[in-house]
Structure 1
Amino acid sequence: MNSLAKQNYSTAAEDALNAQIQIQQTASHVYLSAAAYFARDNVALPGLQKFFQEQAHEQQEEAQFLIDYQTTRGGHSQLRMIPEPNTEWNSAMNAIESSLSLEKDVNKASLNLTTLANDQHDPHLFHVLKKRPLTHRVQSIEELAKAITQLQRTGGEGLGLYLIDQDIYKHGNFSLGRLGMDRSL
């Protein structure tokens, strides 16, 4: 049954929005899994745990925004099964590399959705998507890429990893410019 609110909202756009919702929920699930891994007593990296919990929360908020938008436009959100995420990460480097790949996938899907809105002559969807912070996604990709570089420099374990983790815990993100700047140590 079609919604009375539906106007100039194509089935292709509705389907693409549902796909984007699933991508966002999958990313949130992966980040929750990584947070749980870093919280384990035999891993114990609270900075990475905090970072991944925040990433999961951001992805879930974005999925909820899209669900709400779908409803506003008269579309139907179809929440599909989310694939089971990895629960074992070989290292912090492995988790960050996986996150970088995931962020690129989410960004690419967002850009494709924006292109679809334009192609479908749906100015409202296009406007809403353009207002969303695509800059934040690009900055996240850059931050993760720099984090990989920093982990490579430290060997990705031991004291170097500990210092990076403590900096993440203290500042809530990979504050790479501040790393090693605390002269009180």
Structure 2
Amino acid sequence: MSIAKQNFATSSEDSINQQINMELQASQVYLSMAGWAQHTSVALPGLEKYFRESAHEEREHAQHLIDYLNMRGGRVILRALQAPESDWKSAKNAVEAALQLEKDVNSSLLTLHKMGDSNADPNFCDFNESRFLDEQVQGIKTLSDMVGQLNHVGEGT
């Protein structure tokens, strides 16, 4: 056990490791979406840029969690990632999938926050709030707006 570990429950450590892996999986999904949007048969450079930036953002989230886990004396455990979908049917389909992904990540972060509360770990709650929660809500809003716009113009195939 690390000498840095204090008031850091094993359940929190395990859940943070799950979140790290979820963020890395989300990054892979976004990279897949970026590759799809960049393909010559799709050619949506604005969407490709958005998905590429989202992939980078998710990797940064994972790195922040890794840094935090190490700072608290935890141990990082990375798991194998699943191969993401690679052929999105349309821009709308890809953006709707991204919206669901962000909602899933947000739900997981909210569960982590509850765990921090139940483990009387205000440091973790503050970290989670300041680094992730507001950003997730903003991301969900952006993607919701994109879905709405695509509903007006069509599938975007």
Task: String of CA shifts for 1:89-123, please: whole Å, max 9, x gaps.
Answer: 00001000000000000001111101100101112
Q: Which residue of 1 aligns with 2:22?
A: 23
Q: Which residue of 1 aligns with 2:7?
A: 8
Moved runs in structure 1, 4+ residues, more than 6 A? Answer: none
1:53 matched to 2:68? The reply is no
Q: Distance in 2 between matches of 1:5 and 1:34?
A: 40
Q: Which residue of 2 aligns with 1:174?
A: none
Q: Which residue of 2 aligns with 1:167?
A: none
Gaps of 5+ in 2: none
Q: Which has the higher helix share?
A: 2
Q: Distance in 2 between matches of 1:106 and 1:135?
A: 12
> How many positions carry a matched residue from both structures?
157
Gaps of 5+ in 1: 159-185
Q: How far apart are 1:133 and its partner, in Å? A: 4.0
Q: Which residue of 1 aligns with 2:85?
A: 86
What is the TM-score when the length of structure 2 is the normalising length?
0.96
Q: How far apart are 1:156 and its partner, in Å? A: 2.5
What is the TM-score when the length of structure 1 is the normalising length?
0.82
Q: Which residue of 2 aligns with 1:136?
A: 135
Q: Distance in 2 between matches of 1:123 and 1:91?
A: 43
Cα RMSD between the aligned structures? 1.1
- Flag the structure with larger Rg: 1
Q: Distance in 2 between matches of 1:39 and 1:48?
A: 8
Amino acid at match of 2:39: R
Q: Distance in 2 between matches of 1:19 and 1:132?
A: 17
Task: String of CA shifts for 1:66-106, please: whole Å, max 9, x gaps.
Answer: 00100000000100011110000000010000000000000
| DSSP-derived class of the 2:152 partner | helix
Task: String of CA shifts for 1:2-61, please: whole Å, max 9, x gaps.
Answer: 111111111100000001101111110100000011111111111111000000011100
